Structures are given as structure tokens and as C-alpha cells.
Chains A and B, each alone.
Chain A
Amino acid sequence: MRPKYMRSPLIPEMATQEVQLNETLAHLKTESETLKSKLEEERAKLHDVELHQVAEKVEGLGQFVMKTRRTLKGHGNKVLCMDWCKDKRRIVSSSQDGKVIVWDAFTTNKEHAVTMPCTWVMACAYAPSGCAVACGGLDNKCSVYPLSLDKNENLAAKKKSVAMHTNYLSACSFTNSDMQILTSSGDGTCALWDVESGQLLQSFHGHAADVLCLDLAPSETGNTFVSGGCDKKANVWDMRSGQCIQSFETHESDINSVRYYPSGDAFASGSDDATCRLYDLRADREVAIYSKESIIFGVSSVDFSLSGRLLFGGYNDYTINVWDVLKGTRVSILFGHENRVSTLRVSPDGTAFCTGSWDHTLRVRAICSLI
């Protein structure tokens, strides 16, 4: 699923024009190389200390015991994505089997189920009102389903097609209302859509390959979002202008997940290079890497605890690693899933976190005790 680049053959009469264009091209290339070096230089000047050095005096964290409190069974194939409802108890999840399920995580009851016309539903999201869910995947679309109180009603009948991409939908998120949806796609772009009309409000171009993930800045910090892609870049965008305002390229492989730090001043990323990284937006650089030599499998999804002190990472080796964000050390490793962890989200009030896996299940975990 990578874009192909086509080359047209040279026509002899255009040779002179070609030479002139090549000269300008070379000039621009040099200018871009110079600018890139200058950018690195400017960033390096302010790199006076490491985050973990600043955090040396902070008290270390005790041992954690986090237990699985609920296991949600019902998907017939790999769980690919999940999202929490603002009510802190409902969860929407989507799967390779084409099904999107809404669960009450307290009781583990399935409240709604929708069968999509495609398999690999890679993205799903709960609307802020709790009255609708959005989802999509290999159908290249993002569709919104209003959730009916009538359990017998066929949800598929009220389906609204909102987003249209030219490749798979990798992620979607409502903005701070039910009216707008942000999407990312294998076609290399992100886009903002009006739910009611399906109109494209803004598109975001800049990634050189599939965009795999996105996250909206906490509402207090303004209209920006971050995206990560197969081009190893994490880009921060201005939602109104469509402009990429900051770009970070330190990962060595695809970025599968991005998540804002709760204050909005930083964001974390998880990558196929087996590391999670923290980027501070005001310092405009990477400020921490969360990795161990023993961790060699890719990170599929990351999320912060409420205070931002803990970073949870779901990995392709079936585990969850919990990192001390400030000190850069791992505080816990959690087992339980029998296949890759594909999606991970902390609940809206931070009391629990949910993981979805290729083992067809979702698990909700909460802290048990501090030793």
C-alpha cells in the first residue's frame, strides 16, 4: 500500500528546458539541505539537558499491580481499534471481521453491533455526545452511525457516509463536537469533514506515505492535531489553515500511534522501531526515548495516564509496557493477551485503560494495589 511514482520519458526538443529546470531543481535542493541543517542546529542549541536529568529529584514510582478487570469477548477476528465514550463506561471496538460493537464495559454487555460492508475496520471513534460512532477501513470511507435506544433498530439503515479517501482509512476522531470528523488515510493525507453534509472542510498534505494515526490536541490548547505515518514522520497541523507547523523525524520506522500529553505541550509516539518517544512542542524536539534492548517488537498504540506520568504502550509481542514518562524507565510489564496488542486507550477519567488485541478480545485493566 505504498504510492507508486511514475516517470515520463524525455522528449529531445525539451532537452534545453529540461537542463534549465534541473539547474533550478539543484539550487532548490541545496537550499532545502541548508535549511534542514539550520533547523537541526537551532534545535540543538536549546538542547541543554535531558528530561530524565531534570526529573532526577522526583520520587520514583513504586511497584504496580494492574489487573484485568473485564474481558470483552465477541469479535470473530482481530480487534483493530477501540475508543471510550465520554461516559467512562461504554466502549466502541472494530475488527477485521467487519463488525463494530458498542459495549457496556461495566457489565460486558454488547449494546449495539453493526456489520460493515468491508473487512479490516481499522478505525472507530465515539462521538462526544455518546449518541453516534464513526468507523471505516478498507472501504476507504469514514461512516457515522447514530446509536439508537431501540435495540431492535437496524443501525446500518441510518448510516451516513462522511469521508472519502483514495486508500484505506487508518484513523478517525470527532473534534470537540459531533459535527466534524478528522480522518487519516493510506492515501497519505489527513482531512477534516462536516458530518451533516459530508463536505471536505480542510485537507492536510505533507506526509510522503500512508498516514497511520492521529490525535487532536486537548481542547484548551487550540486547533491543532498530530499525525504519524509510514514516512517515519510525526507532523503537527493547524486545523484551520491546513498548514503543517512542526515536523519530527527521529523514528526509524513507521509511526503507528501518536497521543498528546494531557497538558497539550508534548506528544508521544509509538513505532515499528520498538520505541516510544516524547516530543516537546515548545522545545520543538524529541525529549525522551522509551526503549530497552530486550524490547524488539513494534509498538502499536500509546496513551498517557491522567497526570501524564505514565505512558502505556501496546506491543506486537503481546505485552503492555508501562513507562515512567519523566525518568524514562519501565515501571511495569503486563501480560494477558494471546496475540498482538493493536489498540490501547485510557478511560476519560483515567480510572482504567482498555486494550484490544489480535486475539479477538478487549481487556479493561485498573490498578489493584501499590506495593
Chain B
Amino acid sequence: MADGDIPEDANEHCPGTQSESAGKSDACEGCPNQEACATAPKGPDPDLVVIAERMANVKHKILVLSGKGGVGKSTFSAQLSFALAAMNLQIGLLDIDICGPSIPKMLGLEGQEIHQSNLGWSPVYVDDNLGVMSIGFMLPDPDEAVIWRGPRKNGLIKNFLKEVYWNELDFLVVDAPPGTSDEHISIVQCLGATGIDGAIIVTTPQQVSLIDVRKEINFCKKVGVKVLGVVENMSGLCQPLMDFKFMRTTETGEHIDVSERVREYLKEKAPELQNLIACSEVFDSSSGGAEKMCREMEVPFLGKVPLDPQLCKAAEEGRSCFIDKKCQVSAPALKIIIEKMIENNGFSSMLVDSA
């Protein structure tokens, strides 16, 4: 079980705060937590009962994790939610990144508020079938830092799970912050009893990111969450050649913009080069990238998503990347990944039902 059960200042051989002998065993003598442990109620957490009721009509739960920040996890969670909603499924997206809640912006819901009904807190709806919950909706000032220690973050996550009225959902997608700490332990402890289908881990190709993905995979193994697969994001840049800027470096090391001239030149002398796509790996993946790591760790590799400036734009503007043809490099890649995830886990039957 996660080490969170043993307080930092506990005696050696601490039986764990949730154990039946907590506060009462020989090992507890003199421990600063002894009285608290001895008098705390044991047995099933009543909150878990409430959470189980809320989750009764939620068919599937998927966690989206990452080892590092800035790898595109929230972008992936948002686009995954858009994609599933477009299949006529009922989707809930829960953002448990308390310090950096990106989800409201990525769904085009900035400035919205949470309404309460007699059934509980209402998610904020993008469409009838895509509801979102995030601390982002609760901040009076979006620039205000949320400077909370772990216990307070855990409290909010528990509240989200107890209070939000999702109604019936085909999928609840949970976007977590990077790492393996309070938020992750809490969501697994609170949702685990009601069944988590698994976790998707988002990474970038660099070795330093993969080191952290291995830790995330081992976190999942340790807490009993199935790894549905790993997504390698920012996997190279592919962009139409004509969308680049061209610079010449002078002897003094300055850069001069020669884009206009280059475009003219290509138009006149080499028109067939105009519709080429130029690709750069950006993050060296010569050590095999996420795909090789997945083979070694025996988890599914779902696929690669290239760096696509159009995908970034869609994220900034809170749009689905699948609706128009703008994200011509990334949308097809994401589609393949999501379809693979659905196929691998037997979710396809749900789509047939919805149709």
C-alpha cells in the first residue's frame, strides 16, 4: 500500500494509521500520533460510500497521468474527451490539477462557474454530453496561486467525488497533475473501490521524460491500476515547408529574415518543393523513445502525436482538433491512438450501443 499511511514522525514498525491496531500496538508507545490513531474511527470510510453512490452510473473511469509537467497531458485529456463525446457517449472530465488547472481553458470554458442543484454540484457543460469539473471554475481570480499543502488538496478531490452530480456517464476522464503524490494517491484511494479501468500515461520522447514514465508505470503497478497505454507526445515537428520562416546567419552571428525571398525563389525556380512537409525530430529519440520503453515495461504503446502548431492553437482556443481540417498532422495521430485504446480495452461495444 502507498506509504501515505505511515506518518513521517511515526515510530519504527508503525502498523499504519488505518490498521486495526493503530495507536494500540506495542510499536505505538511514545509515538506522537498514538492518541490520534487510537481514537480515530476505523472501518470503511463513510465518504467512500457516498463516492460509490455517485459513481454507480459511471461505466468507465480513465486516469490521464504524466511523469513530468508540460508534456501535453491536459491537451490529450481534453482532446480525448472531445473525441469520445463525438461518438455520442456521455463524457465527464474531472480536472484534479489543483495548482495548475488547464482544463477549463482547453474546453473553452474560462470564466464559467459551478452551479449547485439539489442533486449536487453541476459540472460545466461544453455540450449536452460533455461535462467538466475543475478548481479552475472556483477561483475568483484566475491569476491567484492556489498554495495548498497535500491534505487540503486531498479534501477538495474528495469533495469533487462526493458532491458532483455527473448523472450517467459512459466515461469519466480524470486529468491529474504530473507526478506521484497526494492527488494521485487520493484519486486511487477514493475511486479504486468503484473500479478504475486504467491509466493512460503521456510523455515526450526525451530520456529524462521516459525515466519519469517508468516511475508512473511502477506507481500504477503498485496501486493496482492497469496501464491502458503510453502516448508519446511532441514526437517531432511536421509542418508544411511554406509555413516556416527562413533566416540567414551573418558572420557576426546575427539572424536576417529572408523568408520573402525564399518563397519567391521557390515559387519561380522550384514550385514542386512548395507543397513539401518538413519534419524535425526535435527531441532525440535514438534510444528508442516511448515505444521501446513500453516493450521493456510490458505496457501497450498507443502511438505518437507530433508537435503540431495547429493542435496548440486548438488547445488555446478550447476547440476539438477533430472538427475541421486544420490539425492535419496531429488529429489523425490522436484518432489512431484513441481508437487503439478503445479497441484494446473492449470499449467498442459501447459505441455500437450508442449508435
Do A and B come from the same complex?
Answer: no
